[in-house]
């Protein structure tokens, strides 16, 4: 079978895998590796889906370099991505961050602080070199040993506690500067490759940054630090990211846009609204476009209103000329709940207000929904078909 596939595939430029069993998946993947062919794999559940394009990769730690993507799939991408925009995956869930809070197997649970990802031999080698260059070779022997575990809270640890915490001492400043810079360097390398790949194609590149809003009200911002964002009460960790994206003409894509501070656990000092505002200020200062998305599925007016307010980027509480709107918003996600009659009606009204742009949040949502009633009526047969299809 392997011999016949390797004989058949060379005449094709790209391979699309539509199989659903492990042996076939592995066989096709192996053949593509042997032949150096790009492999497109996809999966769907109901109306949700995702796909990935896998090329021959050069691995350096967590760094995956793009090769020949433009040559093979340029035309296809223009069709698949309606606005000719590609979100370049940078790490876990596609986000530019370390895998500091893995949910698999219950390793991490909200609102734990996560854990530094610096203890493999490659990271330790870089840390050692940085410490020696800084004249502090002892600082390069290992990462922080008093930073707790995945599900600790800041005050459980010596490193993250607000009074006398290691994060705010010379060693902590050295380590966090190095740790965050390694993440920025990773982003730079991938963006350089992506930019050269899609140069002169008209394709926009975006990068997703995680909305780590828990313990945001603490001094150390521990979960952000373990993820690689050197953001504390005394330091802006999002401006360097925004400046990096601006250098490459990329879009800053941020999440948790639908969340309000008062909806979150107060004991964990969750402040998503303040976090979004900080990111908006950083992107405005760096002059980089800001896009957003919701972190959790929400179908209520309360969440819709928050998205409208946040996406208008009225940072200073008014509609001054300096403020701009988000360049895009991704609504997550299309599933059976969205097509329930009340949810669909609210969603149509929400989309109408998003389309109207800045100032639309001042309009009565009920009025907008009445104006959108005609569209709801027209799409009712389609929605009913979707409901029937999803039940099967």
* Total number of domains in the chain: 1
Please tell me the predicted confidence (pLDDT) of residue 173.
Answer: 98
- Measured CA to CA, the distance from residue 253 to residue 380 in angstroms comes to 33
Please tell me the predicted confidence (pLDDT) of residue 201.
Answer: 80
Q: Tell me if 372 is assigned to some domain.
A: no
Are residues 308 and 354 in contact, defined by beta-carbon separation less than 8 angstroms?
A: yes
- Measured CA to CA, the distance from residue 101 to residue 113 in angstroms comes to 8
**Could you tell me the two tokens for 342?**
């009340």
- Matching residue, tokens 């876990």: 92
Closest C-alpha to 148, from 185, 100, 199: 100
Q: Tell me if 291 is assigned to some domain.
A: yes
Are residues 209 and 90 in contact, defined by beta-carbon separation less than 8 angstroms?
A: no
Give every CB contact of residue 374 below 8 A, 6+ residues apart in sequence: none
Q: Tell me if 262 is assigned to some domain.
A: yes
- Measured CA to CA, the distance from residue 102 to residue 114 in angstroms comes to 8
Q: What does the pLDDT look like over 279-288, one tens digit per residue?
A: 999 999 999 9
Please tell me the predicted confidence (pLDDT) of residue 323.
Answer: 53
Q: Tell me if 203 is assigned to some domain.
A: yes
Please tell me the predicted confidence (pLDDT) of residue 278.
Answer: 97
CATH number, domain containing residue 112: 3.20.20.80
Tally of residues, the chain = 392
Domain that holds residue 190: 97-296
Please tell me the predicted confidence (pLDDT) of residue 374.
Answer: 66
**Could you tell me the two tokens for 355?**
């389309």
Are residues 3 and 31 in contact, defined by beta-carbon separation less than 8 angstroms?
A: no
Q: Tell me if 160 is assigned to some domain.
A: yes
- Measured CA to CA, the distance from residue 117 to residue 204 in angstroms comes to 30
- Long-range Cβ contacts of 227-230 (<8 Å, 24+ apart): 227/97, 227/98, 227/100, 227/101, 227/114, 228/96, 228/97, 228/98, 228/100, 228/179, 228/180, 228/182, 228/183, 229/97, 229/180, 229/183, 230/176, 230/177, 230/179, 230/180
- Measured CA to CA, the distance from residue 239 to residue 249 in angstroms comes to 15
Q: How many other β-carbons are positioned within 10 Å of the β-carbon of residue 206?
A: 18
Give every CB contact of residue 32 below 8 A, 6+ residues apart in sequence: 9, 15, 38, 39, 54
- Matching residue, tokens 């990068």: 207
Please tell me the predicted confidence (pLDDT) of residue 269.
Answer: 97
Q: Tell me if 273 is assigned to some domain.
A: yes
Q: Tell me if 228 is assigned to some domain.
A: yes
Are residues 74 and 201 in contact, defined by beta-carbon separation less than 8 angstroms?
A: yes
- Measured CA to CA, the distance from residue 52 to residue 59 in angstroms comes to 17
Q: Tell me if 200 is assigned to some domain.
A: yes
Q: What does the pLDDT look like over 48-72, one tens digit per residue?
A: 345 677 665 433 333 333 433 444 4
Please tell me the predicted confidence (pLDDT) of residue 123.
Answer: 93
Give me the residues of the chain with pLDDT under 50, please.
Answer: 45-49, 57-83, 319-321
Q: How many other β-carbons are positioned within 10 Å of the β-carbon of residue 379?
A: 14
Active-site residue set: 95, 293
Are residues 271 and 216 in contact, defined by beta-carbon separation less than 8 angstroms?
A: yes
Are residues 182 and 174 in contact, defined by beta-carbon separation less than 8 angstroms?
A: no
First to last CA, the chain: 35
Please tell me the predicted confidence (pLDDT) of residue 142.
Answer: 96
């Amino acid at each position: 079978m392997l011999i016949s596939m390797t004989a058949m595939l060379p005449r094709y430029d790209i391979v699309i895998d539509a199989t659903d069993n492990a042996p076939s998946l592995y066989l096709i993947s192996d053949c593509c590796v042997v032949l150096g062919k790009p492999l497109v794999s996809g999966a769907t559940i109901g109306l949700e889906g995702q796909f990935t394009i896998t090329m021959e990769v050069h691995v350096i730690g967590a760094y995956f370099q793009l090769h020949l993507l433009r040559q093979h799939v340029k035309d296809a991408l223009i069709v698949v991505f309606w606005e000719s925009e590609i979100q370049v995956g940078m790490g876990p869930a596609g986000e530019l961050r370390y895998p500091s809070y893995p949910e698999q197997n219950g390793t991490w649970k909200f609102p734990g602080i996560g854990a530094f990802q610096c203890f493999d031999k490659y990271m330790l080698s870089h840390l050692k070199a940085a410490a020696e260059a800084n004249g502090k070779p002892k600082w390069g022997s290992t990462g922080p040993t008093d930073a707790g575990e995945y599900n600790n809270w800041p005050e459980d640890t010596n490193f993250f506690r607000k009074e006398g915490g290691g994060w705010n001492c010379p060693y902590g400043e050295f380590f966090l500067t190095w740790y965050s810079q390694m993440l920025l360097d990773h982003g730079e390398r991938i963006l350089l490759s992506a930019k050269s790949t899609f140069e002169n194609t008209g394709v926009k590149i975006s990068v997703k940054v995680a909305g780590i809003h828990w313990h945001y009200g603490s001094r150390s911002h521990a979960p952000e630090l373990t993820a690689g964002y050197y953001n504390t009460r005394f330091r802006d960790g999002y401006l360097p990211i925004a400046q990096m994206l601006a250098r490459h003409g990329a879009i800053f894509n941020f999440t948790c846009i639908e969340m309000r501070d008062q909806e979150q656990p107060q004991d964990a000092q969750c402040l998503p609204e303040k976090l979004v505002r900080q990111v908006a200020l950083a992107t405005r200062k760096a002059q980089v476009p800001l896009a957003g998305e919701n972190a959790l599925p929400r179908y209520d007016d309360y969440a819709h209103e928050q998205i409208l307010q946040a996406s208008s980027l009225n940072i200073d509480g008014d509609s001054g000329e300096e403020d701009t709107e988000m360049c895009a918003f991704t609504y997550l996600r299309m599933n059976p709940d969205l097509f329930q009659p009340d949810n669909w009606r609210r969603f149509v009204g929400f989309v109408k207000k998003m389309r109207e742009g800045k100032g639309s949040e001042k309009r009565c949502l009920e009025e907008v929904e009445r104006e959108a009633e005609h569209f709801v009526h027209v799409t009712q047969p389609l929605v009913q078909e979707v409901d029937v299809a999803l039940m099967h």
